[in-house]
């Protein structure tokens, strides 16, 4: 698995491409388009990654769908708005909660592994950029290098240390573009 020829950057959505809504130190997704705020550095960072030949795939947990506090249509509208502003190739959404024990909910690597199989992605030459422990542990489980964008949340650390810690998506892109391939 993952010994294809395509290189990819897997990106979490909330807290990486767009601002999370932080309550009591915990990040939450925007409830709708009126709360969507794409980070100012996202378009240029993704353009640079795309120009370097990376496939850009968003892998996002959206458990509020399973919890009944958000609709799939609302999540799809947010993804469409982000996709209209940023050069994302694909959005993969896990609509499950932890209790569902599905293989696609991060920190499990299902979304990354499915995309790798579908697109012939070379996982050791690919990356996952996230802002939470679930993202980093997912990337480690999938065999990609990981970048944690530090947003100062009050939650546990990942089991696996990230390969790099960045303060922004622009800094993450800089590191990826200058990282030596394994």
Active-site hit among 12, 131, 135, 137: 12
Where are the extended beta strands (E) located within 3-96? 8-11, 21-23, 26-28, 55-61, 90-94
Q: Report the C-alpha gap between 39 and 6 in whole angstroms.
A: 27
Active site residue 14: yes
| CA distance readout (Å), 48 to 75, 79, 97 | 26, 21, 34
Residue 92: half-sphere exposure toward Cβ, Cα within 13 Å: 21
Active site residue 100: no
Ramachandran bin of 152, using left for φ above 0, alpha for ψ from -120 to 50, beta for the remaining angles:
left
- Tell me the H-state helices in the chain: 42-51, 64-67, 72-85, 110-119, 133-142, 169-178
Active-site hit among 14, 131, 137, 163: 14
Q: How many CB atoms lie within 10 A of CB 147?
A: 28
CA 130 to chain centre: 5
89 closest CA partner among 123, 58, 111 = 58
Residues assigned a catalytic role:
12, 14
């Amino acid at each position: 698995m993952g010994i294809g020829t395509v290189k990819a950057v897997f990106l979490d959505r909330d807290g990486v491409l767009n601002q999370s809504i932080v309550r009591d130190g915990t990040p939450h997704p925007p409830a709708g388009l009126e709360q969507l705020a794409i980070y100012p550095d996202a378009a240029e960072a993704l353009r640079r990654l795309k120009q370097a030949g990376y496939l850009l795939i968003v892998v996002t947990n959206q458990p509020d769908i399973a919890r009944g506090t958000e609709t799939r249509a609302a999540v799809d509208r947010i993804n469409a708005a982000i996709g209209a502003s940023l050069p994302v190739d694909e959005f993969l959404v896990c609509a499950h909660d932890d209790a569902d024990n599905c293989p696609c909910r991060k920190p499990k690597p299902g979304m990354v592994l499915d995309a790798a199989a579908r697109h012939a992605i070379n996982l050791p030459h690919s990356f996952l950029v996230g802002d939470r422990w679930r993202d980093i542990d997912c990337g480690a489980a999938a065999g990609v290098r990981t970048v944690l964008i530090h947003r100062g949340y009050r939650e546990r650390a990942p089991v696996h240390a990230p390969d790099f810690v960045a303060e922004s998506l622009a800094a993450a892109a800089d590191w990826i573009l200058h990282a030596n391939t394994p």
